[in-house]
Structure 1
Amino acid sequence: MASVPASHVYVRHLASFDGSDGVVRMPDPVPADGRTVPGGWWPPLMLDPHWIARHHREFDVFHIHFGFDALDPDTMGDIVHELSLRGKPLIYTVHDLRNPHHRDPDAHDHLLDVLVPAADRLLTLTAGAAAEIERRWNRAATVLPHPHVVERDRITRPRPYSTERVVGLHAKSIRANMDPLPVLEVAARTVAELRGVRLRVDLHDEVFQPDNHWYAPDVGRQLVEYGDRRNVEVRVHPYYSDDQLWDYLSSLTASILPYRFGSHSGWLEACQDLGTAVIAPSCGFYSDQHPCHDFGFDETSFAPETLAQAIRTAVTAAPRRATWPDRVRERRLLARRHREIYERALS
C-alpha cells in the first residue's frame, strides 16, 4: 500500500491499533536533503511517475492524501497515466477543495481537475465536501470522519483547572488563508467587555526573519501591538512541538480559526480531542467536521457581530470533548472501511 504521505498523523491513525486490518503501508521515501514539513517528508517522493515505474511491484494500491501542492497538472497527469499503465488503483481522499496555502485557487483547481476524475475511488471528510465534489465533478465520494489527532494519554488526561477563561487566536505563520487582524480587532473589543476572560494571541517568530519564506514583519508588528490592549496577551515563539501544542490548546477555553477560505482542519480535530471549543468561520466545512461556534467570515465578507456573539457563547457553553472509547470505535471503523475500499478497488 502506497499512502502519500504515510507519516502524516491522519494516515497513521487510519490503521488499526494492532495491525488486524491487514493493510501494510510503505514508509515514506526520505528525500536526499532529509527535509521535512509538519506531517511528513518533503517533497513526497512517491508523487513521481518515475518512482512509480521503479517501485510499482512493491504496492497494490496508491492512495493520495496530501503533498501535491508543488506539482503541475501535466506531472499529475503523468502520475495518473503511470498508475493506470501498471494496473494500480488510485484512491484520493479530498482533504482540501481549496488549498489553504494558495491565495489564488486556480493552481489547486487544475490539479483537482486531473486527480478527481481519474481516481478509482474518492473519499472525503464531510457531507458538505461530498456535495461540492458531486456538484463540480459529478463524482460520488465516501464520507468518513477524521481520526483522532492526539494520543490516548492526552485525550484521557483531565483538562487543567482554571477560573480564568482564555480565548486563543494563533496566527501561526500567517499562511495565505489567514486574515487575523480584523478577527483580532473584534475579539479584543469583545474580551475587554467580558469579566474573567483573556485573549491570547500567538505568532511564529519566522514572520520576523528576513530570509524566511513566511517573512511578514508589518502584519507581525500589528499583531504584537495588540499586547497593549486590556486583557490581551501576545506571544511570539518558534513552532511548538506536539506536546507544547497540546499544552497550549488545553489551556484555551476556545480557539478562533481566522481563515478566509479552506475546507477541513486537523487543528479543529485536536481541539475536539482536548475539549477546547472552536470558533470557526463560515467558509469551508468546519462545522460539518464537528459542531463549532460559527461566525460569518469568508473571502468577500465579514460579519463582526457574529464573531462577538460566538466568543460570548463559547466562553460560557458546556465544553464538548471526544472520549477515548469513542475515538477507538471510530478508528476501528476507519481501518475496516479503508480495507474494504482497497479491496473493492483491487477487484
Structure 2
Amino acid sequence: MTSQITSNIIRVASVPSDQIYIRHLESCHGQRRPQILRLPDPVPARGSRSRQSPWWPPVMLSAQWVRDHHDSFDLMHVHFGFDALDPQQLRETMAELRRWGKPLVYTVHDLINPHQPDSAAHLALLDVLITGADELITLTDGAAAAIAAQWGRQAHVLPHPHVLDFAVMERIRQSRRTQRAQDPQRLRRVGVHLKGLRANISPAILEPLARIVAEIPNAVLQVNIHRQVLDPDSSEYREELARLLTGGQLKGKWELVSHEYFSHQELCEYFASLDVNVLPYQFGTHSGWLEAALDAGTAVVVPLCGQYAGQHPSLAAYRWNADQVEEESLRAAVRRQVAMEFIPGMGAAERQEQREALAEAHQRIYATLLGRRKTSPKTGSSAAGAR
C-alpha cells in the first residue's frame, strides 16, 4: 500500500502521538476531510523509558523505522522527544524522509530545553530540525520572531490547545464564580510548584515570594514538590533544599505539600485549589502547565524569560537578575493577580472553538504539503526539502 492523498485520510507519523497537546489538536467532531490519522506510538524496545512519557525514546525518529514503515504514513510531525538523538542521527532520519518523499512538519515548542542547564546540545538539534523541516509551527508571536531572526524561517503561529477536559474546566470555573459571589473575603491561595526540581526551576523564588504573600491580607503561600526530592532514601534527594522547605514550613512562611507525580485528575484539583500559580522558571520557552492553570481559571504569574508571557494576555510577569528574583517586579505581578476580579483564561466553549480552529489549521498545513509533493515532478527528491 502506498501513500495516496485522494484516500481522504492523511496518515501522520506523529512524534509523539499519545501526549495531551497532540491529542487536543484533533477535531472534537471527527468530520473533517481529509481526516487526520496519527499513527500510535511504537513501544520503545530499549533505552530509559520514561514513566511520564511511555513513548520515550521515540522509535519513529530512527532512520531504520522510516525505511521499514515508509508505506504506512504520509508525513512526519515532530513535537517532542528528539533530545534522545544526536544531530547526526537526526540528519540520517531526515535524509530517509527525503528519500521516500515524506514531508516533515516541526512544532517548535522549546527554543531552550527546560530540562538542560546547557542549551548547546538542544540548539544543535534545532539547527538540524528548523533548517530542514518543510513547515514550522510555534505557539507565540515571540517565538516566531526568534525563529525568523536566528534561522531565517517563517513559522505558523498556532496557540496551545486546552489541557483540561471541557466538562472539568467548566465545573471548576463555575465553582470559582459561585465561591467569589458567596465569599468575597475568602482566603487567597498562592501556589508555587517545584515539581522534581528540573533544570529551569529555582527555589530562589521562595523567600521573596513568602515575604510578598505575607504582606497580602487573607493570603497564604503553598509550596508543592515531588516527594522524592525530600526523601533521604531517594536518589533524587536534595538535603539542603529539604532543610529550606521544612524550615520555612516550621516558621510559618508557607504550607509545604510533598506528593507523587500528579495524575491528570489530581492536577486539575490542584489548580482548582489555587487563586494564583507562580511559575519559578529561570529559562524556557512555552508552558503547558500555565495553560492547564488558565483552563481552571487560576491566575498565573510567569517569568519574563522565554515566551511565557506571550501565551495569554491575562498573565503577569516578573524578572530574574541572574540567579536572583527582582522582588519588586514579582511583588507587582503577584499583587495584580491576587486582586484580579475576573476569572482568567478561556471558558470551555471558547476552548472548543479554538480546538476546532487548530484542527483545521493542521489539516490545511498537511494537505498543502502533500499537494505540493503530489505536483512535484520527482517525489522523494526536492519535494520533501521544499520550504
State whether TM-score is above 0.5.
Answer: yes
- Structure 2: 5+ residue stretches without partners: 1-11, 373-387
SS of residue matched to 2:289? helix
Alpha-carbon distance, 1:216 to partner: 2.5
Report the counterpart of residue 325 of structure 1 in structure 2. Answer: 349
Question: Is residue 281 of structure 2 the alignment partner of residue 267 of structure 1?
Answer: no
Paired residue type of 1:56? H
Alignment coverage as a number of residue pairs: 346
Give the one of 106, 110, 115 matched to 1:101: 115
Which deviations, in whole Å up to 9, do the C-alpha atoms of 1:280-322 show, x marking residues without a partner?
Answer: 0010111111121110126566311111121111111123131
Report the counterpart of residue 335 of structure 1 in structure 2. Answer: 359
User: Do the aligned partners of 1:166 and 1:253 also contact (CA within 8 Å) in 2?
Assistant: yes
Give the one of 229, 252, 260 matched to 1:238: 260
Report the counterpart of residue 129 of structure 2 in structure 1. Answer: 115
Report the counterpart of residue 203 of structure 1 in structure 2. Answer: 225
Give the Cα–Cα distance (whole angstroms) in 2 for the partners of residues 53 and 298 of structure 1: 49
Give the Cα–Cα distance (whole angstroms) in 2 for the partners of residues 12 and 133 of structure 1: 25
Which deviations, in whole Å up to 9, do the C-alpha atoms of 1:223-265 show, x marking residues without a partner?
Answer: 2322123351001111111111110111101101000100000
Which deviations, in whole Å up to 9, do the C-alpha atoms of 1:79-108 show, x marking residues without a partner?
Answer: 111111111000000000000000000000
Query: CA distance change for structure 1 residues 213 and 20 in 2, over 3 Å: closer, same or farther?
Result: farther
Which deviates more from structure 2 when the two are superposed, residues 190-199 or residues 93-102? 190-199
Alpha-carbon distance, 1:164 to partner: 0.8
SS of residue matched to 1:41? coil
Query: CA distance change for structure 1 residues 231 and 225 in 2, over 3 Å: closer, same or farther?
Result: closer
Report the counterpart of residue 61 of structure 1 in structure 2. Answer: 75
Paired residue type of 1:296? R
Which deviates more from structure 2 when the two are superposed, residues 235-244 or residues 116-125? 235-244
Give the Cα–Cα distance (whole angstroms) in 2 for the partners of residues 73 and 302 of structure 1: 35
Which deviates more from structure 2 when the two are superposed, residues 266-275 or residues 186-195? 186-195
Question: Is residue 30 of structure 2 the alignment partner of residue 19 of structure 1?
Answer: yes
Which deviations, in whole Å up to 9, do the C-alpha atoms of 1:156-184 show, x marking residues without a partner?
Answer: 1023537110000100000000112x211
Residue correspondence of structure 1 range 1-347 to structure 2 within 5 A: 1-21=12-32, 22-32=35-45, 35-157=49-171, 158-159=174-175, 161=179, 163-180=186-203, 182-209=204-231, 214-230=236-252, 232-291=254-313, 292-297=315-320, 299=322, 302-318=325-341, 319-346=343-370, 347=372
Which deviations, in whole Å up to 9, do the C-alpha atoms of 1:11-56 show, x marking residues without a partner?
Answer: 0010111222300110111124694443552211111111111111
Alpha-carbon distance, 1:206 to partner: 1.6
Which deviations, in whole Å up to 9, do the C-alpha atoms of 1:198-217 show, x marking residues without a partner?
Answer: 00000101224567564433
Q: Relative contact order (alpha carbons < 8 A, sep ≥ 6): 1 or 2 greater?
A: 2
TM-score with structure 2 setting the length: 0.86
SS of residue matched to 1:100? coil
User: Do the aligned partners of 2:194 and 2:224 also contact (CA within 8 Å) in 1?
Assistant: yes
Give the Cα–Cα distance (whole angstroms) in 2 for the partners of residues 298 and 62 of structure 1: 40
Which deviates more from structure 2 when the two are superposed, residues 67-76 or residues 143-152? 67-76
Give the Cα–Cα distance (whole angstroms) in 2 for the partners of residues 298 and 8 of structure 1: 34
TM-score with structure 1 setting the length: 0.95
CA RMSD of aligned residues (A): 1.7
SS of residue matched to 2:61? coil
Which deviates more from structure 2 when the two are superposed, residues 105-114 or residues 189-198? 189-198
Alpha-carbon distance, 1:220 to partner: 3.0
Query: CA distance change for structure 1 residues 272 and 212 in 2, over 3 Å: closer, same or farther?
Result: same
Paired residue type of 1:117? T
Give the Cα–Cα distance (whole angstroms) in 1 for the partners of residues 114 and 201 of structure 2: 8
Paired residue type of 2:105? I
Which deviates more from structure 2 when the two are superposed, residues 32-41 or residues 76-85? 32-41
Paired residue type of 2:127? D
Which deviates more from structure 2 when the two are superposed, residues 259-268 or residues 317-326? 317-326
Which deviates more from structure 2 when the two are superposed, residues 139-148 or residues 12-21? 12-21
Give the Cα–Cα distance (whole angstroms) in 2 for the partners of residues 55 and 215 of structure 1: 43
Alpha-carbon distance, 1:190 to partner: 1.2
Paired residue type of 2:286? H
Paired residue type of 1:132? A
Query: CA distance change for structure 1 residues 93 and 233 in 2, over 3 Å: closer, same or farther?
Result: same
SS of residue matched to 2:31? coil
Give the Cα–Cα distance (whole angstroms) in 1 for the partners of residues 85 and 49 of structure 2: 17
